[in-house]
Amino acid sequence: MLKSYNVVVVEDEDITRELLGKILTDNFFKVHPAPNGKKAIKLINEITPDIVILDLGLPDMDGFKIIREMRTWTQIPIIVVSANHKEQDKVTALELGADDYITEPFGAAELVARIKNAIKHSVVLKERKNDGKYVLRELTVDFINKRVLINGFDAMLTKNEYRIVSLLAQNAGKVITYEHITKNVWGTEKISDSRIRVNMANIRKKIEEDTAFPEYIITEPGIGYKMGI
| Closest residue by Cα to residue 164 from 141, 184, 142, 179 | 184
- Among 34, 41, 43, 55, the residue binding Ca ion under the rule CB under 5 A is 55
57 counts as binding Ca ion under rule CB under 5 A: yes
Question: Which one, 82 or 182, has the nearer CB to Ca ion?
Answer: 82
214 counts as binding Ca ion under rule CB under 5 A: no
74/45 Cα distance (integer angstroms): 10
89 counts as binding Ca ion under rule CB under 5 A: no
Least distance to Ca ion from the beta carbon of 15, Å? Answer: 11
User: What Å distances lie between residue 35 and 15, 55, 133, CA to CA?
Assistant: 11, 10, 40
Strands (E) located in the chain? 6-10, 30-34, 51-55, 78-83, 100-104, 133-136, 139-142, 147-150, 153-154, 175-177, 217-220, 224-227
Query: How many other C-beta atoms are found inside a 10 Å radius of the C-beta of residue 102?
Result: 19
Least distance to Ca ion from the beta carbon of 55, Å? Answer: 5
Question: Which one, 12 or 87, has the nearer CB to Ca ion?
Answer: 12
Coil, strand, or helix at residue 28? coil
126/77 Cα distance (integer angstroms): 12
Least distance to Ca ion from the beta carbon of 59, Å? Answer: 8
- Among 5, 12, 142, 220, the residue binding Ca ion under the rule CB under 5 A is 12
Question: Which one, 35 or 228, has the nearer CB to Ca ion?
Answer: 35
95 counts as binding Ca ion under rule CB under 5 A: no
83 counts as binding Ca ion under rule CB under 5 A: no
Question: Which one, 55 or 161, has the nearer CB to Ca ion?
Answer: 55
Query: How many other C-beta atoms are found inside a 10 Å radius of the C-beta of residue 18?
Result: 13
Q: Are the beta carbons of 67 and 44 closer than 8 angstroms?
A: no
53-61, 64-72, 121-129, 200-208 -> range binding Ca ion (CB under 5 A): 53-61
12-20, 106-114, 143-151, 174-182 -> range binding Ca ion (CB under 5 A): 12-20
- φ/ψ of residue 27, rounded to 5: -100, 25
Question: Which one, 10 or 24, has the nearer CB to Ca ion?
Answer: 10
C-alpha dihedral, 74 to 58 to 224 to 107, nearest 10° = 100
Least distance to Ca ion from the beta carbon of 149, Å? Answer: 45
Least distance to Ca ion from the beta carbon of 24, Å? Answer: 18
User: What is the contact surface with Ca ion in residues (CB under 5 A)?
Assistant: 12, 55, 57
